[in-house]
Structure 1
Amino acid sequence: MEGELIALGKFIGAGLACIGMGGSAMGVGNVAGNFLAGALRNPSAAGGQTATLFIGIAFAEALGIFSFLVALLLMFAV
């Protein structure tokens, strides 16, 4: 019985950690959407901001990867 409760806690914790992946997806969409809105307003400046776009996407995606790793650690760590 005690082992089942521990396994249940692991899976609940992993599911809660996966909320961060959804937040990361929303962050990437926000970054890309704002870049697109700015590029449509001023197309001549869009080329200079492409590097900033990729840096923003990388930072937002890194948080999703970290939450995925936490979920895996909660599920498979002893």
Structure 2
Amino acid sequence: MDIGGKKVDIERVLSEKESNFSVKTKVHIHRLFEKFGFDEVFGRSAVMELLELKKSGASKLISNLVQADIIEPVSGHGKRKVQI
């Protein structure tokens, strides 16, 4: 997403996706966005460390965010990497 140097409001992005995430999931999304922004690629281990989740919880969160089109898989950065 090209943001032209402007600060992007993650709430606007979430509302555009029309996802009914729980408050806890929204907090996780905000923390991921604060840490990685729109340009940095990250994987499950980074999600586990940042959000203090177990492997299964991080995998489920990533899967849910991919399905909701909040994050997208990227290639060329290793196995199963994603970005916002």
TM-score, L = length of structure 2: 0.27
Structure number with higher relative contact order (C-alpha < 8 Å, ≥ 6 residues apart): 1
Q: TM-score, normalised by structure 1?
A: 0.28
Whichever structure has more helix as a proportion of its residues is 1
More strand by share: 2
